[in-house]
Copies of this chain bind each other. A is one copy, B any other.
């Protein structure tokens, strides 16, 4: 009877909205943060072939952390990306972000960026002609990831575009990415106006040869060290790259002065880099790709090696299942909007930039970048909690990338599909937001969680191994 004389206190398991409605009535309620496992979850410790999954995953994390990505050179996509332009075959390849998709199912910004790329390549003079060409079947479309390349947002790489070449010195794997254009009305956000094409041409004819010449003077640039430093300087290296961009400028500027004879060109290149705090994104992305490549195709390994979105589908690839994509519809992003735009203007989540989270930085290192909330929304406490939550679904902590505010704890690295299934927690990303129509560009930036569907599909495949 004593028990019933005491004040009763409800315990709420899971759904926050239930807790809120009880608390709204003035009742003290204990909240337990719990979610049921996703449908289809079973405990999985070994493959049918008897492989110890934990051991396979530990090996994947070891390989990822051991990677030493260096920016070694630059080149033109068709000349340096293996397979991009096979000899003896007349072919026009354009790669895009995310999993494979046809022109018919492509979202607005991807279509816009392809229209821009065809104008840039001189294959069409008007957006209408470019769209007709794109729809004609004469252009081959494929994911950047199929060529070990990565592209932010629409992620378009066309044959004439200059790319960074990043080599993982530990294993020899190479990854590629274009040069970052800046924010606003830019190709990767789906814009294709004359100023977009003019900027891309300047990047091909002035920026690229200058940086390539400077790299020849400076020698390879250590991106592993640069990312590690940037994480100690308030970047998470996905949507905040202010420190990384600064460190890159410091590294390249003296060599640029020596390698490029015309001081007005040196100054113009340095001003372009200084004007674009996101420049380093297109280096952190191929660095992560180069670090993740050695973790692919490990038997029994349930670690995610690719997360990428094409603005229509959200896709992942998992180590043990190799090149197979598992997809779900791309969700909308919760974010902050540029003046004049609202959520109604937004395209669903898009871009290969989730390679940063796949490698243990970006949204996974949000705790290192409290100032980013001014750009993507939320509070510094949210940023801290986002990182802490990611430890629940990852297999390890990074040995090179650490977070000072967490007493130099390694970032959460290696998303384990099993843990996503068991906890119902999916990876948290931060990202830019493109206008849903072709030709417009950036409308905001924000936070998003991966859809559960692609993990459930991957888990079903992993169970059958």
Contact = CB atoms under 8 A, between A and B. Distances in A.
Contacts of A251: 274
B258 A370 contact: no
A408 B378 CA distance: 13
Contact of A247 (B246, B257, B273): B246
Interface size grouping (class) on chain A = 35 or more
A270 B242 contact: no
A277 to B, nearest CB: 10
A404 B371 contact: yes
Interface stretch (A101-109, A175-183, A259-267, A440-448): A259-267
A413 interface: no
Contact of A263 (B234, B258, B270): B258
Contacts of A62: none
Contacts of A261: 263
Number of copies: 2
Contacts of A246: 233, 243, 246-247, 249-250
A251 B229 CA distance: 20
A256 B258 CA distance: 13
Interface in A398-417: 404-408
A255 interface: yes
Contacts of A268: 254
A194 B261 CA distance: 35
A386 to B, nearest CB: 14
A379 interface: yes
A381 interface: yes
B407 A405 contact: no
A9 interface: no
Nearest to A255: B267
Interface in A263-286: 263-264, 266-268, 270-271, 273-274
A246 B241 CA distance: 13
A249 B253 contact: yes
Contact of A257 (B257, B405, B406): B257
B243 A267 contact: no
A232 interface: yes
Contacts of A371: 232-233, 404
Nearest to A258: B267
A380 interface: yes
30 contacts: A233-B233, A233-B234, A233-B235, A234-B404, A243-B246, A246-B246, A246-B249, A246-B250, A249-B249, A249-B250, A249-B253, A250-B274, A253-B253, A253-B270, A253-B274, A254-B268, A254-B270, A254-B271, A254-B274, A255-B267, A256-B257, A257-B257, A257-B266, A257-B267, A261-B263, A370-B404, A370-B405, A371-B404, A373-B404, A381-B407
